[in-house]
Amino acid sequence: NAGVTQTPKFQVLKTGQSMTLQCAQDMNHEYMSWYRQDPGMGLRLIHYSVGAGITDQGEVPNGYNVSRSTTEDFPLRLLSAAPSQTSVYFCASSFPSGRGLGGYTFGSGTRLTVV
């Protein structure tokens, strides 16, 4: 099925551990992004990419790294997890239109808890 696939769906980490959240899309979308969703704060942009080999920071990039070696994949790495990174993470992709008009396709999310 075409769409955005995120793994894992749930994860519990201990403070200081590292992990990678996976995101893959099969729609040949050039634009991909990571958001975190926290109660009362909506969705905040972490990192985004306009194509393979190109990434940039969003609103809340600290503590996260990304890379984009292929069009399909856009993993998000937590280098040293902190309780403040407890959140629901969404990956989204779209065709680039220059104005968001392609409409984002979202994954179903990864619920991360850092203890």
Partner 1 sequence: GNSVTQMEGPVTLSEEAFLTINCTYTATGYPSLFWYVQYPGEGLQLLLKATKADDKGSNKGFEATYRKETTSFHLEKGSVQVSDSAVYFCALSGNTDKLIFGTGTRLQVFP
* 2 contacts partner 1 (rule: CB under 8 A): no
Which of 58/63 has CB closer to partner 1? 58
Q: Which of 16, 53, 83, 96 binds partner 1 (CB under 8 A)?
A: 96
Q: Which of 85, 109, 112, 114 binds partner 1 (CB under 8 A)?
A: 109
Tokens 């503590």 correspond to what residue? 63
Backbone angles phi, psi at 91, to 5 degrees: -105, 145
Query: Which burial class, exposed, middle or buried, applies to 34 when counting CB atoms under 10 A from its CB (0-12, 13-18, 19+)?
Result: buried
Task: Give the shortest CB-17-to-partner 1 separation in angstroms.
Answer: 25
* 64 contacts partner 1 (rule: CB under 8 A): no
Q: Which amino acid is at 99?
A: R
